[in-house]
Chain A
Amino acid sequence: MSEIINLKGRNLVEPNDFTLQELDSIFDLADKILADPASYQEVGKGKLLATLFYEPSTRTRFSFEAAMLRLGGQLIGFDNPDFSSVSKGESLVDTIRTVACYADLGVIRHPREGTAKLVSKGLSNFEMPIINAGDGGHEHPTQTLTDLMTIRHEKGTCNNLTIGLCGDLLFGRTVHSLIKALKRYEGNKFVLISPKELKLPDSVKDLLDDDDYIETDNLDDVIDDLDILYMTRVQRERFVNEEEYLRLKDYFVLDNKKLQNARDDMLILHPLPRNEEIAEEVDVDPRAKYFTQARYGMFVRMALIMKLLGLENA
């Protein structure tokens, strides 16, 4: 039996906080839970997860809450900072430090970029690990775990793939995190598909070698090259200018007509929620895996919770 990789007490602020071997250990555990969820329904008994959502979320929050409850653990938290001490002028770090006195593990989402890093530094003398559940347009590492697990299951590998990322690549934090993660695997190529106003920021593009990516604003030109098409929503909440949002929101719409030229084994992924960028008619296409992806998300979060709490041996 292989040795268990211990991640107890570690934070997850950005995807590269874990080595590929450590990521694999999370996916391996997620696979075991997926195969036999009943065996894990009590491993989190007596443990408390704090969900600290300073920004609206349905999928990610429910996914974490479902994950903790399915492990037999319990929850505290808020999804509206107006009801927390934020409204009393307490600093963010102090709020989380106080929560760390009660909970075993914290999950934070915040509209400001870099918040999870700040909180992880503020918690250096506390035992509670913190998980970044999205910080503005910056990073969303647990979505990346979800994406990688889906790719691993549906493609059998995370290596030597051509991945098209389409839509809002500027503010799309899931895209930033996924590129950083997939870049560490071998032989991956990226096709960046966006209007020029929503191109990938230089800070992420600079991580790639020039030969590893192309940029285009035309999905039709490249769809037949792709192993994976990762669609994203143009996010109204990231725009200061409403007119700009309205102009760009329907720039790319994936429908059955566009898919005619795609490969039979191309995966269509989306972090959800979607708006108009994927037509509902695509949902029944066997290549559409975005709801499967959401399901994997819960299992990989169960595995992550177990790893960070050191429950794998329990």
Chain B
Amino acid sequence: MLNVDKLKKGIVIDHIEEGKGMDIYQELHLNDIEMPVVLMKGIHSEKMGKKDLIKIETDIKLNMDILGLIDPDVTINYVSDGKLVRKEKLQLPEKVTGILKCHNPRCISNYEDVGDIDFYLVNKDKKIYRCEYCDSYTTFH
């Protein structure tokens, strides 16, 4: 198994729900990063049974809103000089901007260039968000 401590500098996204690692990889566009990125799927976890994990060997600014939407239970570990320097727990964002699209076919955002749309969390359990323009509900994926 990959050892987090061996990372010299970078980020480890840990405790990803099994099967969601690839979603995170794609939504964060990690394929575009020139430095090594490792995605591990279905690895053993004492707490979760099985989990996914992503190791990024560089310091990049992650889009926490996207991460929170896909899997709010992940842990972000920041590593520098081979040591864990910061640990961050995520939560479902109350507001997301420029990530979700409105699924209401009658919403103006599907006809005019409205720029980034704000969506507001209305139901944490079901991850339901409300469109700032038409108030319709939408979910991520």
Chain A interface residues toward B at CB < 8 A: 91-93, 110-115, 117-118, 135-138, 201-204, 206
* Given A113-B108, A135-B134, 16 extra CB contacts under 8 A: A92-B108, A92-B112, A112-B107, A112-B108, A112-B112, A113-B107, A115-B108, A117-B133, A118-B108, A118-B109, A118-B112, A118-B114, A136-B134, A138-B135, A203-B122, A206-B122
The 8 closest A-B pairs by CB, nearest first: A114-B133, A113-B134, A112-B108, A114-B134, A114-B108, A115-B108, A203-B135, A136-B106
- How far does the alpha carbon of A118 sit from the alpha carbon of B113 in the complex, in Å? 10
- Given A112-B106, A112-B108, A118-B108, do A138 and B134 touch, yes or no (CB 8 Å)? yes
Contacts of A112 in B (CB 8 A): 106-108, 111-112
Convert B75-118 into 0s and 1s, putting 1 for each residue whose CB lies closer than 8 angstroms to a CB of A. 00000000000000000000000000000101111011110000
Q: Which residue of A lies closest to B117 (CB)?
A: A114
Contacts of A117 in B (CB 8 A): 108, 132-133
- How far does the alpha carbon of A221 sit from the alpha carbon of B71 in the complex, in Å? 47
Contacts of B112 in A (CB 8 A): 91-93, 112, 118
- How far does the alpha carbon of A157 sit from the alpha carbon of B114 in the complex, in Å? 40
Contacts of B67 in A (CB 8 A): none
Q: Are B131 and A114 in contact (CB under 8 A)?
A: yes
- How far does the alpha carbon of A206 sit from the alpha carbon of B120 in the complex, in Å? 14
The total of chain B residues at the interface (CB under 8 A) is 18
Residue in contact with A114 in the complex, picked from B107, B113, B122, CB distance below 8 Å: B107
Contacts of B104 in A (CB 8 A): 113
With a 10 A CB-CB cut-off, give which of A110, A113, A117, A204 has the most chain B CB atoms.
A113
Contacts of B111 in A (CB 8 A): 112
Contacts of B134 in A (CB 8 A): 113-114, 135-136, 138
Q: Are B113 and A137 in contact (CB under 8 A)?
A: no
Contacts of A137 in B (CB 8 A): 106
- Given A91-B112, A92-B112, do A113 and B136 touch, yes or no (CB 8 Å)? yes
- How far does the alpha carbon of A137 sit from the alpha carbon of B104 in the complex, in Å? 11
Residue in contact with A202 in the complex, picked from B108, B131, B137, CB distance below 8 Å: B137
Contacts of B133 in A (CB 8 A): 113-115, 117-118
What is the CB-to-nearest-CB distance from A117 to chain B, in angstroms, rounded to a whole number?
5
- How far does the alpha carbon of A110 sit from the alpha carbon of B106 in the complex, in Å? 11
B15 CB–A CB distance under 8 Å = no
Residue in contact with B137 in the complex, picked from A91, A110, A203, CB distance below 8 Å: A203
- How far does the alpha carbon of A201 sit from the alpha carbon of B137 in the complex, in Å? 9
B51 CB–A CB distance under 8 Å = no
What is the CB-to-nearest-CB distance from B117 to chain A, in angstroms, rounded to a whole number?
9
Contacts of B55 in A (CB 8 A): none
- How far does the alpha carbon of A136 sit from the alpha carbon of B107 in the complex, in Å? 8
Query: Could you list 25 examples of A-B contacts with CB < 8 Å?
Result: A91-B112, A92-B112, A111-B106, A112-B107, A112-B108, A112-B111, A113-B107, A113-B108, A113-B133, A114-B107, A114-B109, A114-B133, A114-B134, A114-B135, A117-B108, A117-B132, A117-B133, A118-B108, A118-B112, A135-B108, A136-B106, A138-B134, A138-B135, A203-B130, A204-B135
Contacts of B109 in A (CB 8 A): 114, 118
Contacts of A118 in B (CB 8 A): 108-109, 112, 114, 133
- How far does the alpha carbon of A202 sit from the alpha carbon of B139 in the complex, in Å? 14
- How far does the alpha carbon of A93 sit from the alpha carbon of B108 in the complex, in Å? 11
